[in-house]
Amino acid sequence: MAAAAPAGRCIEIGTSAGYSTLWLALACRAVGRKITTCEILDEKAELARQTFGAAGVCDVVEFVHGDALDHLAGCKDIAFCFLDAEKEIYERCYEALVPGIVQGGILVADNAINLQATLRPMLERALQDARVDALIVPIGKGELVCRKR
């Protein structure tokens, strides 16, 4: 999906040690794009840097060490976002992200089924949000997929 998204920025919120970023980086590299990924914890940030160095993906990964919420305000031209941070900040991330997503741009949020109870307010908001077409895809832990209208 990162590769098929319209022109614009590709973002990941919640890097951890960088596993999902590696897949996104492969997709981005295949189509000449870059992925910006954000991690708040010092120890995870260090692991992620090691991962990206060892995997040789530093040319397509822009790593941001800090609170994603500090970087999302006013963020524009978002073509693709993978949201996989602490579930308590999903709703704030969603509200910060959606205005900056380009038409046809895609937001994927992980854990939409296995943590459905925790995420219910955010999921209901997205599924009823007139700015996006949204559905929950029953693969893995459940992916909320939103496409900006």
Ligand X SMILES: C[S@@+](CC[C@H](N)C(=O)[O-])C[C@H]1O[C@@H](n2cnc3c(N)ncnc32)[C@H](O)[C@@H]1O
Binding residues for ligand X, rule: CB under 6 A, are 13-14, 16, 19-20, 38-41, 44, 67-69, 84-86, 89
Smallest gap from residue 93 Cβ to ligand X (A): 8
Query: 85 or 146, CB closer to ligand X?
Result: 85
Are 97 and 83 within 8 A, CB to CB?
Answer: yes
CA distances from 55 to 51, 58, 81 (A): 6, 8, 22
Smallest gap from residue 4 Cβ to ligand X (A): 20
Length of the chain: 149
Smallest gap from residue 77 Cβ to ligand X (A): 20
Triad 6, 74, 128: Cα angle to 5°:
65
User: What percent of the residues of the chain are helix, what percent strand, and what percent coil, each to the nearest 5?
Assistant: 40, 30, 35
Query: 71 or 125, CB closer to ligand X?
Result: 71
Position of minimal CB gap to ligand X: 14
Query: 104 or 118, CB closer to ligand X?
Result: 118
